[in-house]
Amino acid sequence: MGFLYKYFLSSSLRIYLSVSLFFAVVFTVILLFSTDGDIKLSLIVGLVIFIVVFIFAYLNDHFGEKKHISFVHGKVFREIKDKMNLDIERLNNNKYKGLKGVYKEYYFKIYYDWNTSISNRNIYREICIMLYFSPLLTSDDSFDIRLLDKLNEKYKDKGIFVSKSEIKLEASYLKVSRGYTLFTSTEDIAKQIERAVEIANIENLKPIDEKVVNGLIEEDSYYYGPDIETFYDV
């Protein structure tokens, strides 16, 4: 059972199966009604759709993960690394690669995510910029949910058209998710980093060092760490 959980239930395969099964069932039902109940044909077409969607999803994720690993050595990250004096971070047997370091007093983690969730769209890949700060707590040492909600509402994209960036604040980090295309430049990502610092200064978010960040991640990696599967040893 442990083998099954580690290599199947806990992996992204469950997502591929869910998506593939959804499309297969939908098309099977449609065919059943459009072919006067031809069960055999409907099941065959449903099975073919299941296999095709599963293979497409698997390959997309497989090559996306490879892109995540190699992205840190690409032009944009190399120039950001040199410009802001950051380091390359390798974790989970090199499945996770990103940049880390202190810039303008704030500790950052920056990485490429091929499984984008920006504004609930699957159009862009993302470059994710995480600026860490001292956890926002109330007088009784619980997370200040009200303040977080207020800040997230303040920096929520309220334009007519959805932008290529999304700003989100959690209890101890500010995350800028920037849609990535072939035209994304180093200057563009540098502006997003500066924007994160600007917001942190405006809201008086207190910097914390790498040791404190690592302690938070050790305490709860899913809550404080990068929101990407390759960061976690599953």
CB 221 within 8 A of CB 231: yes
Who's near 181: CB < 8 A, 6+ residues apart? 124, 125
Q: Is 101 left (phi over 0), alpha (psi -120 to 50) or beta?
A: left
pLDDT tens track for 41-96: 878 888 888 888 888 777 777 776 777 677 788 899 999 999 999 999 988 877 88
Model pLDDT, residue 13: 61
Give all domains of the chain, ordered by start, each with its CATH number: 2-64 (no CATH), 72-231 (3.30.1460.10)
> Which of 159, 184, 163, 60 is CA-nearest to residue 119?
163
Structure tokens at 19: 């998506």
DSSP at 205: P
CA proximity to 176, closest of 190, 158, 186, 159: 190
Record the pTM. Answer: 0.75
Note the pLDDT tens digit of each residue in 206-221: 999 999 999 999 998 8
CA atoms within 13 A on the CB side of 194: 8
The CA distance from 167 to 157, in Å, is 8
